[in-house]
Amino acid sequence: MDRSFSPFYFPTNAVLLDDDPGFLKHFSLLLAPRLPCRSFSSVNQALQVINAQATMTNRFNEFTNVTLLDDVEERVFVDLNKLHRLLYDANRFSQISVVIIDYDMPEMNGIEVCKRIRNPEIKKILLTGKADEKIAVEAFNAGLIHQYIRKNNSEVDILLNQAITKLQLEYFMEITKPIQILLADSTGSFGSNTDFNNALSTVLNDNKYIEYYLWEQPKGILMLDAIARTGFLFVLSKEVMKTQFEIAEASDAPTELLQLINDGAHLAWFPTPDGYFTRECLPDWRKYIYPANVARENEKFLCSFVKPAPLPALATDRISSFNAYLEIFDAEYAKKK
C-alpha cells in the first residue's frame, strides 16, 4: 500500500448508517475484519455519536510550544515529545475517520445526514442505487461527500474497503496539515521524497506495522504492529553523519568506527543526549552502527530499519496496543447487539 507521509498514523473507527438492520448486518460483513466499525439504524443516534467527536486540529495546541523571539514576535514549534503521548492513549483508536451512509433512508436521506455532520475532517462515503447516481455526483462535486459507491456493484466489498483505506490516509494528511507546515524545516527533504515514502511503505507492509510516529531524537519513524511490537526507521542526513564523523574523530574514535561512519553505507547513533560519539561509548560502539537500507548518491539522507526500536524512552510506560483496544471494542459491541 502506498502511503503519503504524515507525522503520525494509527487505526481509526468507521461508522455505518442505514435504517435497515438486515442491510447493516450484510454490509458490516463486507468490511475488513479488523476495522472497528459502529453500525447504526437510527440517524439521530449516529449523528449524536459522530458530532460528539471534537476536531483533531483543535488539539493542535497540545503538540506545540511557543518561544518568544523578542518582545513582540513568537515562534511556534511542534514538540514531538508531546505528540508521542498519543502512544499511551488507548482512546486514540476510537476516533471516527470515515462514515458510510446509505442514501435512501426514510427518516433522512444520506445527503442530508452528511450536511449535519459538523466535523469537516471526517470523510464520507455514500452508498447509492442506480437511480441515485446523479445526486451522488452532484454531492461529490459540491464537497458534501468524498466518494460514492453503488450498492449493487458486483465488487462493492473491494471498492468499499479500498475507499475506506484511502480516505483514512487522507484523514490523517488533513488533520496533520498544521503540524506538517511547522515540521517542514525539521524533516528536511525526506518527508516529500518519493523514495523515502516508498521505503516507508515497504517496511510498514512487510512487518505488518499499523501505526507510526515521527521521532526527533534520533530522527526517524517509530512503527508499531497490532500488539505494540516496535521497529524504527532511522532517517539521518548526510550532513549529520559528517558531523558525527568529525566529532568521533576529535574524540579519538577507533579507525574502524570512523571508516564505517564515513563509508556512506552505515549510520551511527549513540546513547548520548545528541546522539554523537563520546569516549564513554568506546567499549560497545559496534552496537550503535546500523547498515543503511537506502544510500544512493543523489540522496541527502541515509535510512536504516531496526527492530525492536532502540529507544530508551519507550521503556518507561506501557504502550496501549490496537489488539487490546479491539478486545474491548468487540466486547462492548457484542453487548449492544
With a pLDDT cut of 70, the percent of the chain lying above it is 90
Helix (H) or strand (E) holding 267: strand 266-268
How many angstroms separate the CA atoms of 337 and 333, rounded? 7
Per the prediction, the chain carries an average pLDDT of 87
**Cell reading at 125:** 462515503
The partner residues of 39 in beta bridges, in order of sequence, read 16
pLDDT band for position 1 (50/70/90)? Answer: very low
Where is average pLDDT lowest: 47-61, 102-116, 291-305? 291-305
- Cβ-proximal residues to 282 (8 Å cutoff; 6+ apart), any chain: 253, 254
At 170-203, the pLDDT tens digits run 999 999 888 887 776 555 556 667 777 888 888 9
pLDDT at 212 over 60: yes
pLDDT band for position 2 (50/70/90)? Answer: very low
pLDDT at 130 over 70: yes
Task: For each of the domains in the chain, give its residue range(s) and CATH number, in order of start.
Answer: 8-180 (3.40.50.2300), 187-315 (no CATH)
CA 137 to the chain's CA centroid = 30
Q: Tell me if residue 164 falls in helix, strand or coil.
A: helix
At 236-269, the pLDDT tens digits run 888 899 999 999 999 999 999 999 999 988 999 9
pLDDT at 13 over 80: yes
Q: Model pTM greater than 0.85?
A: yes
How many angstroms separate the CA atoms of 52 and 292, rounded? 46
At 88-126, the pLDDT tens digits run 998 999 999 999 999 998 889 999 999 999 999 999 999
